[in-house]
Amino acid sequence: MKTRSSALPNEAHSPAEIRKILLEQRYFYTARQLCAKWHITPYRLRQWKQTWRQTPIIGDRRELVIVALHQGAHDIAGIIAHLDYLDHARYTPEEIGEVLAQLVLEGIAVNHSGALHYDWRHSANDTSYIF
C-alpha cells in the first residue's frame, strides 16, 4: 500500500494509481491538498488532468458508495440518496447491498450495530489511496 512517505515526487504512478488520485481530487481534496498528500507538483496534477480529459474521471458505483461512506452516509437509504446527488442515478437497495457486502469483505467498510462506516484503517487515515 502506497502512503505519503512512499509517494516521492519523481516516483512513477501507474494509470490506475493516477485515476485513484484524480478521483480523490474530484470528491475529497482541493488541488493544493492533493498535491501535499501525494507529494506531487501542481504542474504534474495539471498534466495528469490534461492526459485524462478525454476520459472523464467519474466514480463507478463501487467508488461512489465509498465516497458516500467516507462522507458520512451510514445506511442504505442514505447511500442511495448520496449517489443520486453525485451521479443522478437511482440505485435499488439490492444493488447497493451487493456493493456494501463486497466492501465489507475488502475491509473498506465496517458494520457497527447496523450502521455502516468507512473503515479509516483501509486508507491509513487517508494517507494512502481511499479507493
Sketch the domain layout of the chain as residue ranges: 4-52, 61-118
CB 59 within 8 A of CB 67: yes
pLDDT, one tens digit for every residue, the chain (131 residues): 555 444 444 468 999 999 999 999 999 999 999 999 999 999 999 999 999 888 888 999 999 999 999 999 999 999 999 999 999 989 999 999 999 999 999 999 999 998 999 999 999 999 999 99
| CATH class of the 61-118 domain in this structure | mainly alpha
CB 91 within 8 A of CB 23: no
Residue 124: C-alpha distances to residues 1, 3, 7, 25, 104 (Å): 9, 8, 14, 18, 16
CB 110 within 8 A of CB 116: yes
| 14: Cα separation from own chain's centroid | 16
Q: What is the pLDDT of residue 7?
A: 44
Straight-line distance from the first to the last Cα atom of the chain, in angstroms, rounded to the nearest whole number: 12
- The model carries a pTM of 0.86
Give the position of cell 435499488.
92
